[in-house]
Amino acid sequence: MALVKALETQSGAMRLLMYLMKGPSYVTLILKETDIPNIQLLRSVNLLLDLKLIQKKVDSSTYPKRNIITLTNKGKLVAQKVKEIEALLKEP
């Protein structure tokens, strides 16, 4: 139950999981394409890293370097469940 509480108390974490379902991304792009504020996004990234739902790799082929964020296998499963919940809530 404590892990679910961690997800629900960190605003943006579930939206970030759903966003990453479309593929790897980096923080600047996520900020542009979502409504997750900067500090909430950074906290969500840290939480999801701790829960092993995402992984972060440094892309040093760009300047400045970018942190590429991707879902782990477990993260994909959790994101799919969040997407299913959203679909159920949209039903009349």
pLDDT in tens, 40-90: 999 999 999 999 999 999 988 888 889 999 999 999 999 999 999 999 999
What pLDDT sits at residue 64? 86
What pLDDT sits at residue 7? 80
Number of domains forming the structure of the chain: 1
CA separation, residue 23 to residues 1, 7, 18, 36, 86 (Å): 28, 21, 10, 17, 19
Per-residue pLDDT for 1 more than 80? Answer: no
Domain of residue 50, residue span: 2-90
CA distance 66 to 50: 20
The CATH number covering residue 79 comes to 1.10.10.10
What pLDDT sits at residue 92? 83
